Structure 1
Amino acid sequence: MRLKKFFKLLLAVLMCVVLGNPFYAQAAITLTSNASGTYDGYYYELWKDSGNTTMTVDTGGRFSCQWSNINNALFRTGKKFSTAWDQLGTVKITYSATYNPNGNSYLCIYGWSRNPLVEFYIVESWGSWRPPGATSLGTVTIDGGTYDIYKTTRVNQPSIEGTTTFDQYWSVRTSKRTSGTVTVTDHFKAWAAKGLNLGTIDQITLCVEGYQSSGSANITQNTFSITSSDSTTSTKIECENMTLSGPYASKITNPFNGIGLYANGDKASTTVNFSASRNYTFKLRGCGNNNNLASVDLYIDGQKKGTFYYQGTYPWEAPVENVYVSAGSHKVEIVVNADNGTWDVYADYLLIQ
């Protein structure tokens, strides 16, 4: 009886060890040719057109890979979606990697959208050549790093919808790194601010790509976090509390407590601390002094972002929508530039949402 009890106890201990250790639940899988699937909640794919490749997929989105004598090869793990990019919420990837390219290669966040079909890259590090060999559309600072934004076009090339022509959107760091957090959604917004709009997101992955090169990489962390879309919060700035300048700009008490802008060059300015890098809506409550069409321009850090329009003497919140602003302090100005002597503008408050 005692012996039976001992063996039962031993069996129970062994089962706890096996079932309690997640690495016993799923063993890593190794790929050498084109394959895709789902493993431990992560989508994975190895794609190549030729050459020698090995990819070992582990738990938690981790993987290692080696390549040689290739033309083009991609190794990646991440998440699949079927959601419009601006409905995903905030997607962040925290990663770390040992990255050893020999020749042309990228360590990047990589994915696709449909309608429009777009291949996109957020390049964190690279090998012998910094992609993509195009003219930068400008820079953006996200997660403490500076990225150049690019758009390129691929003609009759492989895609998730077969061989076709499609655009590529790029954010490429100005300095390399192999670990950190990437707020993917902020890059989507920065591209949209340049007119580079995505559609329905098909996949977002952490990717190692090689092109006519050799190398190896070991992804030791690949943590996705997705939070719901930012709740709508508002910052209200009373115009009479802004700094006034120009030939005639002044405070008023009728038809409300605010300011009057009477001629070209009249402006009101303030500094605003934006808590997040995203698209904002600006609403300027105001009106004209008659039924002629009046306008006031919105500037952020000296760059015109849009125009508020008024017609009539009844106050309303004129909007300027989808203005991308990066997190941090920025100078915000409202300026009269189109006065032709037939109207004036009264401004009550500026609402930022």
Structure 2
Amino acid sequence: MLAETGKSKSEDAPERRIVPEVVRQHVEQAAFFWAQRDTLMMDDPPDLHVVAGVDSRLEANLDGLRIAGPAAWPFVTAAYEDFPEKGELFIYAWMAIEQNDSRRMAEMVEHGRQSADACGLVGALAWHKPAMIAPLVRDWISAPDSFKRFLGVSACLGHGVDPKQMLARLVRDPDTRVRSTSLRLAGKLKRADLVDELKAGLNDAEEQPRFWAAWSLAELGSGDLASPELRKVAVGGGPDAMTALRAATRAAPDKDVRAWMGGLLTSPETAPLAVRGAGMLGDRTIFHWLTHQMRNPALAVAAGAALLELFPEARGADLFTTDPSQAGKAFEDHFKDEVAKVPFADKVKEWAKSKQLLT
């Protein structure tokens, strides 16, 4: 047994005959596809159909690594050493867990600790089935090591698993990342018993815990308490701005949200946020107004994203360009050399007519 020998499962396994170049390609492609998937999921809004296609290609390459078994490790380690980015970390962690290799799992934790945000490691935990990672999570979630606690609660978040009474302690954890992730998990799980802890989180000294406390309160129906923090984060323009905006549109009555967005429209700095938020309200009658905003270079990207949220069928209809200069001189001057996804307003109108979406 593993506990008796001190060896990992992969160390006891017989070496398999492989075609080195094929295995190397599986490693490189799997790392690429997971990194691509992670990036696609950050799109606003993400194209889940495209993500599903990437997932199938990723899984095909992971199957190749399953077949290669421990013989794939030289290629996995070489890839991470050459390019220690999120996709390579994902493969390292996925392989360590898949092989139940205790030494490699210890290494993956240290690699994750040294990375910028450990998203590749967190992604590997989310990719594996809960039963596969359960022993790790049980050890990590109450560990003295704050990074392991972060991994444990992140795995619970990824799989929607409730750590029960332990979550009441984790939402007050001294580590900011653990606290933030735990507060977010409380909202995802609709843990109404933790409302008092979430309210206390609104006074946290750090922005991330405050934001996720507000987000979770909104999920639990306490939008009146959550709205001020959510709106502040949305206007702040940080990495959580779109998540905050989406939550803010649900946290207050429609009339109040529209009044807030009307105020945002009066300032050039916040007008794009209002245009994007309009697409989150689910009101397709704003189509004509949206196409008008598409003619303004400063608002076009937000208007295009709002269009895709309201009309998902617009995807794949050749209505956008990533070279803004193709939309006209005003767009070329505004974006200069920047790459941006800009809609063609005229094409959008013609497409809507052809689909009989206009009344």
Task: Answer yes or no: same fold by TM over 0.5.
Answer: no
Normalization by structure 2: what TM-score? 0.25
Bigger Rg over Cα: 1
Normalization by structure 1: what TM-score? 0.25
Higher relative contact order (CA 8 A, sep 6+): 1
